[in-house]
Structure formats: structure tokens, C-alpha cells
Structure 1
Amino acid sequence: GDRTCSLSCSDKLARWNVLGCQGALLMHLLEEPVYLSAVVIGRCPYSQEAMHRALTGRCQNVSALPKGFGVQEVKIQQSGLLFEQSRSAVQTRRADGSGRLAPCGAAISWSAVPEQPLDVTANGFLQGTTKKAIRCLQARSRISKVELFRSFQKLLSSISEDKWPDSLRLRKLETYHEYKEAASAYQEAWSALRKQAFGSWIRNPPDYHQF
């Protein structure tokens, strides 16, 4: 099939293990990155060695990172609990091996917030969205880039401008791309990580971030 702009879960987790999971926008407001302390894998075919290599091993020699950033030695653990809808569980139940297993286009995202903690999507849009409504605001997932950017702007509007960090106060920023690029320490760390460990990382065209 055609090449996509999607990266594997392990690639993204390895990146978080150096840059933090907060992203570029929140680094404007934080003193240091937010790192995961542990990753727990459900019961499935598993290799501790392969997991360590995927999440930390290939980044261990990354150096020259800005202050506050560093390669973390995250704990990797496996649970004895089996996700009933996982590929291996479904294959075990279908002993005859009939039919082709295909990934599901639906997703459930949960966050510990008081309002609407669940975000249920199908093929990238909120579940129940009709074809006519795909381009409407109501079709957007709350964790889409544009909605996260709107939440960030709402957060900024609640803070007196004279208390903004210099990275936001000393320049006129308009687009999502400009706000991300203005997080200079984060971008410096990301550039070093790409050069030293992820040279083939697929990057979205800049036009995708001009909103």
C-alpha cells in the first residue's frame, strides 16, 4: 500500500523517553519535560530485550541535549492480564483460523478530567459523525491537534500576558506551527534526537500545521 505518515507506538514512546510526553506547546509553560516512569505491556507474545531496545536502547547514546532533557531509563513491565480483544486473544478463540483479522478503525481515549473523560472516535472522527458533518467542528476529536491547540490558547488567555514566558511574549505567533517552533529548547532536543537516532523519522508536510 501507499506509504503513510504514521509512526509505530514504540517509535513514539522512545521519543517521549527523551523529549517528554507533554509536547512542544506545553514546554512553553514547564520548567522541565514530563517523563513516563514505567510502561506496562498486557499479556501477549513478549520479549523484554526487544522492548528495551525499542524504547530506550536505540537512544542511549544521544547527547548534547538542552538543559532538562535526557534519555530516561523507563521501567518496562508486563502484566499477566490479557486484553480480550487483542489479536492474540482473538486468534486463540478462533481455533479454526477462519477469516481474516483486520484492525478496527475505532478508538476510545480516556483522560482524568471532570468533563467528557471519554473520546470515542471512528476513522478519525467522533463516533456517530455523518458524511455531511465530517467538516464540522462537532466531528473533531478532543485530542486532535487543532483541538489541543485551541485548549492551549484558552489556557494562555487565562494568564496575564505580562506573565507569559519570553518564548511567547517577545514575538507575534499565530499558527500552530509557529507556536511549536517557538519552543526553542524542545525543538533543539528534537533536532538532536532526529540526527542521532531517528534520521528516517517521517515528518508531516508544514501545510498540515498551518492552522
Structure 2
Amino acid sequence: MTRKFGAGIALGIIGTLLVAVAVWLTIAYTGAYNVAASDQHADAVRWTLDTTMHRSVERRSGDVELPETFTDELVADGAGHYAESCVYCHGAPGQEPTDWSRGMRPEPPHLTEAAAEWSAEEIYWIVENGIKMSGMPAFGAHHGPEEIAGLTAFVSQLPGLSPEDYRALTGSGAAASEGGAPTGEATGGAGAEPAAPAD
């Protein structure tokens, strides 16, 4: 009796797995899932991607070693790098992300609020390694540990940073217009990308 019961459970598990694989392959091969960035992810897909990403970063960031406190110089250096490239997708205090970045799926988080959800070690890991299938690039291949630490120091302080403080740190008096073409120049290092225009 016990043996039959165990065999029934095993067959039930195998059957469930086979059905799941069949559904997965059907979705993949029929093109049933809409991959257009103009269409929001289904709630189940969004939850799966977000939860997987958070747990993956949390698990892998444990080996990151950072100083207990960040110097003002490191924060300022990170602010310059942020203004050169990150602000267009992630926004800044008093500066909205560009319209084209709002068309990405998943939508890049507005870091003036979202950075509070991550530890400094997790931010460092994300900047260094990027996130697959999100548009977030891995900067570790072409940015040194000091640059990534600077970005980490700055992003960690973004929540609660005022627009005035942001402009002072980046050396720019300009704020972005929504979706505007970048113009002007952001200070923060040689080869700086153009900053976004004022509102």
C-alpha cells in the first residue's frame, strides 16, 4: 500500500513536470508571449524576473568588500560618472529619466528612490556585473574598481539628495528635460558624455 502510494506521488510529480515543460515549449515555439517593449510584462513574469534578480544579486554580492565609510572625494567622483552615463536611464534629483528609457522592459528604476532597496555591496555588484535581459550593462570590463566604488558611493547617497546637492556634486547647473536630446557637457572626467538639457 505504501509502495503504491509512493509510486503515485512520483508519477504525479513527473506528470506535472512534463506538463510544465510542454507549456513552456509551447509558449516558446508558438510566439504566444508578446515580447514587445511597448507591452508591459504580465504580473507573473514581472514578479518572477524581479524576485529572481533580487535574490541572485543578494546571493552573489556577499564577497564584495567596501570601506566602512565613503570619502567626499569618492562620492564626487561617482557623481561625475553617474552624470556622464547613468542619469539618462535612472534619473537624478530634480531630473527625470529620458523618455526613450521609459520604453525599456523592465523599466530602469528611478534610483533617487530605488537605491534605498539595495545595500552598497549589492549596488557595487550590479554596476560591475550588470543584469541580464534588462538593459543594465556590466561596467566591470571597462571601469576599474575605484570608479565602480565611486558610483556605488554616490548611488548609495542618492535617496534624499536634493537637486541642488546633485548639481553641486556633478558641477552642472542643467537638469534634464523629459525625453530631450542631450546637450551641454557634464563635468566629472575626461571624455564625458553630454548632459541632458534644462527643463
Same fold by TM-score, threshold 0.5 exceeded? no
Larger radius of gyration: 2
TM-score (norm 2): 0.20
Relative to total residues, which structure has the larger strand share, 1 or 2? 1
Relative to total residues, which structure has the larger helix share, 1 or 2? 2
TM-score (norm 1): 0.20
